[in-house]
């Protein structure tokens, strides 16, 4: 969050309230990022204990969402923010929703690890790990973009989702090939397909947060618009 914007408020207490919310969001984001890294390690190493830790952590993520949501509701009711301040509050509320859903997806992958301890074909394992690394990078970068309300960083995250989609499509093709070659592999391959799909959805949620940052900085809702249109919005603001 742009600290410079915080300093513009006449009410020092309002500044303190916003800074408190900001700190909680970054703490929530850090927890979700750790969940994601842990579940990727659990999937790679078939570590059921670590997978269970990821599942157990989800309650903490949910509590963060409810606590921040309540705080935002209280601030809106008390301060009745207008213009950019209201836009910021909407950005915060939407962001924590996507973070909570990323936590849910990490939990879903962890449960898949507990269900399926079968070996993973090397080529699929390699691409899943590459996808996981890209996803962690996206999440880390979008949290940084949110913390600084950095337009360019948000745009970079938005663009990087293409790589995630491409990796997911490649994994789907590989898994279908294995299933057609050996029908006995279908249950295990479907579990891997679910994991890949969950990772791809994490990328979508990171993209959503990037769009909220762009909206907060520019005042333009760029959802459901083309990449070229979004790029034009970003460039026009930067000029």
pTM of the model: 0.90
pLDDT at position 225 is: 79
Tokens of 132: 């996981």
| Domain interval for residue 69 | 3-238
The predicted pLDDT at position 2 comes to 47
What pLDDT, on a 0 to 100 scale, did the predictor assign at position 60? 97
Q: What is the CATH number of the domain that holds 225?
A: 1.20.58.220
Q: What is residue 82's predicted lDDT score, i.e. its pLDDT?
A: 79
Provide the number of structural domains found in the chain. 1
* Closest C-alpha to 139, from 198, 98, 195: 98
Q: Please compute, for residue 193, the number of CA atoms within 13 A of its CA located in the half-sphere on the CB side.
A: 15
Contact 59, 31 (CB under 8 A): no
Instruction: Kindly give the parts of the chain with pLDDT less than 50.
Output: 1-7, 9-10
Own/partner pairs, 175-180, CB within 8 angstroms, 24+ separation: 175/124, 178/121, 178/124
């Amino acid at each position: 969050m742009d600290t410079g914007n915080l300093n513009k408020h006449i009410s020092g207490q309002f500044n303190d309230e916003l800074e408190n919310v900001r700190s909680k969001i970054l703490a929530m984001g850090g927890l979700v990022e750790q969940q994601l890294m842990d579940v990727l390690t659990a999937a790679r190493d078939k570590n059921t204990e670590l997978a269970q830790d990821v599942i157990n952590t989800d309650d903490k993520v949910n509590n963060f969402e409810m606590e921040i949501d309540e705080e935002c509701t209280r601030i809106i009711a008390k301060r009745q923010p207008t213009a950019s301040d209201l836009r910021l509050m909407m950005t915060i509320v939407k962001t924590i929703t996507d973070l909570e859903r990323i936590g849910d997806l990490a939990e879903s992958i962890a449960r898949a690890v507990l269900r399926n301890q079968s070996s993973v074909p090397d080529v699929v394992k390699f691409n899943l790990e590459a996808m996981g690394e890209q996803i962690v990078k996206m999440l880390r970068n979008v949290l940084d973009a949110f913390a600084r309300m950095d337009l360019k960083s948000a745009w970079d995250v938005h663009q990087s989702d293409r790589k995630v989609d491409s990796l997911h499509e490649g994994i789907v093709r590989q898994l279908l090939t294995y299933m057609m070659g050996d029908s006995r592999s279908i249950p295990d391959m479907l579990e891997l397909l679910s994991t890949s799909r969950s990772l791809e959805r994490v990328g979508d949620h990171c993209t959503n947060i990037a769009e909220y940052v762009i909206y907060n900085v520019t005042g333009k809702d760029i959802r459901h618009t083309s990449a070229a249109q979004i790029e034009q919005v970003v460039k026009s603001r930067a000029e």
